[in-house]
Structure 1
Amino acid sequence: MSSDSPALPVSGMLKLPPLSLYVHIPWCARKCPYCDFNSHPQKGALQEKAYVDALLQDLRTEQVSVSGRLVQSIFIGGGTPSLFSTDSIRRLLSGVAGCISLAEDVEITLEANPGALESERLPGYREAGVNRLSLGVQSLNPESLQALGRIHGSDEVFAAVDRAVRCGFERINLDLMFGLPSQTPEMAQADLTVAIGLAPGHLSYYQLTLEPNTPFYQSPPVLPDEESLWQIQQQGHEMLLKAGFEQYEISAFSRPGERCRHNLNYWRFGDYIGIGAGAHSKITTRDGVIMRRWKRRHPNDYLAAGAGALPFLLGERVLGPEDLTVEFMMNALRLNDGVEEELFSATTGLALDFIRESLETAIKKGLLHPVHGRLCPTPLGFRFLNELVPIFEVTDVT
């Protein structure tokens, strides 16, 4: 984008976007060697009551900024939220409903491990109001599960899915990874065949990546080469499409009507409140300011904030035109069918002319194509998003 492109926000175009709530529960039974999330291995009894108290107090500090707005979705992630008892999740959701306004059809997702103890809690989670379950399967191959440091087996996955269906979960997601240590295309195909056979409505199928500050990054395992990775990815996509799934995002596949509303709100640059250790928020104020906020990261510090010894908020910043442009495109262009052009102005307050030159560059490079008023990545742009998004970076907005 050139420095003489229109740079002034057009606040009259800005609309308050849909609002979601993210709840972070940071503990896990054991930290996986590939995980770079804010998760902490459980040591002793969990401080469930104190943490839920802190979550609700944290939410109360956010009430003013979202007053009068309906929350469309809630996502309880981690860590491993299913380490918390059904009573704790029930008290959490009841407290949330008492603090903020929820849509009648609010989507409430809880991440869970497929272990035996977590499976026993599924009926209680459903009764507490959770209506969408996301199971961290990752693989169904015993050798791969061991290499990934997972503590469940494939039999526990089958049992968890069966129990989830029997206790009334109509919406189930399975997280499955490919590109695992020593994984062959045949192994990946077998993994996906079994996962599809479990009949989930949604499947997240994503490549293992080596993230800094993880054991896998420091001592890399033997991973499939680029040719094998491409074969695994292509055969996986073909299998999923043949099984009746649609790919609506880079790593998200769903049956009709089963798209994840919470994640769609992220990708469509909606607003979200983040509560919990290390949680992030994106909030659009009524006077047109778009902000990011983040909370204290370590569970002990977060619990101290809950006790009144520290503030929950660790930092915040206002998003400028460059931030807004890049973040919008980084999210929206993950969607297979893109987004409507007017969404850019509605969620950023910037005129579409602000990115006109960048749009033309992306189109000329064959990475983007406009379709009936939508901004859509081409198959090439969808595959090489890391080359498409930088086209929209701004170096001078004066």
Structure 2
Amino acid sequence: MNNINVLSIPLALYIHIPWCVKKCPYCDFNSHEQPEDMPYAMYEEYVDALLLDARMQQPLTQGRKIGSIFIGGGTPSLLPIAQYQRLFSQLRIIFDFASDIEVTMEANPGTLEHAPFAEYLEVGINRLSIGVQSFAADKLVTLGRIHNPEQAVTAIKAARAAGFERVNVDLMHGLPQQTLPEAMYDIQLAHDAGATHISWYQLTIEPNTVFYRSQPLLPDEDSLADIEQAGQALLQRLGYDNYEVSAWAGASDMSCRHNVNYWQFGDYLAIGAGAHGKVSIADKVLNSLGDNELLAHSGIYRFSKSRLPKDYVAQSDGMLSAPKMVGWQTIAQDELVSEFMLNALRLHSGVDWTIFEARTGLTYAIIANEIKALVEKGLLIQSADRLQPTLLGQRYLNQILRAFL
């Protein structure tokens, strides 16, 4: 860690809003169905806990500005606008925001019919990520979504009309009984409605989901390959750049800054139920962080928060308690390489070698043999300045990653 200049590592903030109207059968995120009669006071208590959590993590900034914020869930658009106003007015006091900060909020078209888009912009939320998944009514029913195709189109157009210049649309492909024309229709309609960024990824069946317990009939491997190839070609024709495995930006400045920070092994604080963070601590700043038994030595740390909202918003003697760290551990040096590669090689343009050394404290020499072997296999591009997968390497990313385990 002595080789790391913490002040040179960008810092982001993740905020988790845990509630959703209905748990989707494919979802393995930390989301919880919101009670129909949920009292407004629960929103207030949750925001109180978020702010207490933020104050507790403020020393971890080590003098850095917050460059991006991502509000995920759950369904963040369920949180009342008044609570967002209160949350962000206080976050600006707790943290130093960069002047060009990008603030993304995930949103469900089914909760955006009467969305206060102008108020979101006033709060400082300047990028929306709308979870459409599909514009086919039957596919939405299968996926357990609460919106219909018309609501999805309306939400995208309304966001753009309100002044959002950055609107991502989440789309899945490889859906149960999905045909190639249906998948292409989803991409085309997202573009026509005004998406400036499209996250286009294949449905995967994850453990602890309804689909895992009762698996739907998915397209066969040949059909999946045809859909992927045709979809990539269409997105390119429409002017989107595939800068990451499943991310397509309509222009160079439309990429998701928060996710790019993840992929470039930047630091990120995390507040909210089940939120995960990563932060680098150097020797020279250790003493400035106060009496914190978790920070006994320098290192790159990962941490997480209590998963259940009721545990996150815990009280002691009638007073809100500081949200607990349920996971706090140093990333061991022998894990740093694989952690870095797992993120950085998702970017098709790769990363500068200076980023590898600056953010891990390691030198190129320790992985020179592995890099040489992967170059010879045609999986990495030979470069003294940059770590970058070839087109073949993008296709066989897992094979590259295994070399660093």
Query: Which residue pairs with 1:239 in the alignment?
Result: 234
Query: Which residue pairs with 2:213 in the alignment?
Result: 218
Structure 2: distance between partners of 1:117 and 1:196: 19
Query: Which residue pairs with 2:33 in the alignment?
Result: 41
Query: Which residue pairs with 1:68 in the alignment?
Result: 63
Q: Does structure 1 residue 319 correspond to structure 2 residue 314? A: no
Cα offset, 1:88, TM superposition: 0.8
Query: Which residue pairs with 1:301 in the alignment?
Result: 311
Q: 1:139–1:191: 8 Å Cα contact kept in structure 2?
A: yes
* Structure 1, unpaired ranges of 5+: 1-8, 394-398
Q: Does structure 1 residue 12 correspond to structure 2 residue 7? A: no
Cα offset, 1:373, TM superposition: 1.2
SS at match of 1:316: strand
Q: 1:25–1:277: 8 Å Cα contact kept in structure 2?
A: yes
- Deviations 1:15-72 (Å, cap 9, x if unpaired)? 4410000000000000000000000001131511000000000011101121311000
Between Structure 1 and Structure 2, how many residues are aligned?
384
- Deviations 1:4-23 (Å, cap 9, x if unpaired)? xxxxx6x3255441000000
Identity %: 47
Q: Residue 361 and residue 119 in structure 1: after superposition, are their counterparts in 2 closer, same or farther (change >3 A)?
A: farther
Q: Does structure 1 residue 81 correspond to structure 2 residue 85? A: no
Code of the aligned partner of 2:303: R
SS at match of 2:144: coil
Code of the aligned partner of 1:163: A
SS at match of 2:388: strand
Q: 1:361–1:391: 8 Å Cα contact kept in structure 2?
A: no
Q: Does structure 1 residue 265 correspond to structure 2 residue 275? A: no
Structure 2: distance between partners of 1:365 and 1:305: 57
Structure 2: distance between partners of 1:42 and 1:116: 13
Q: Residue 277 and residue 323 in structure 1: after superposition, are their counterparts in 2 closer, same or farther (change >3 A)?
A: same
Query: Which residue pairs with 2:15 in the alignment?
Result: 23
* Structure 2, unpaired ranges of 5+: 284-297
Structure 2: distance between partners of 1:42 and 1:15: 39
- Deviations 1:330-350 (Å, cap 9, x if unpaired)? 000000111111111100000
Q: 2:6–2:281: 8 Å Cα contact kept in structure 1?
A: no
Q: CA RMSD in A?
A: 1.5
Q: 1:24–1:279: 8 Å Cα contact kept in structure 2?
A: yes
Cα offset, 1:167, TM superposition: 1.4
Worse overlay, 69-78 or 58-67 = 58-67
SS at match of 1:204: strand
TM-score w.r.t. structure 1 length?
Answer: 0.93
Q: Residue 80 and residue 198 in structure 1: after superposition, are their counterparts in 2 closer, same or farther (change >3 A)?
A: same
* Structure ranking higher on relative contact order (CA contacts 8 Å, 6+ apart): 1
Q: 1:269–1:328: 8 Å Cα contact kept in structure 2?
A: yes
Code of the aligned partner of 2:24: C
Code of the aligned partner of 1:32: C
Query: Which residue pairs with 2:100 in the alignment?
Result: 105
TM-score w.r.t. structure 2 length?
Answer: 0.92
Match of 1:361 among 352, 370, 373: 373
Structure 2: distance between partners of 1:292 and 1:210: 26
Q: Residue 241 and residue 314 in structure 1: after superposition, are their counterparts in 2 closer, same or farther (change >3 A)?
A: same
Structure 2: distance between partners of 1:73 and 1:391: 32
Q: 1:112–1:118: 8 Å Cα contact kept in structure 2?
A: no
Structure 1: distance between partners of 2:101 and 2:4: 27
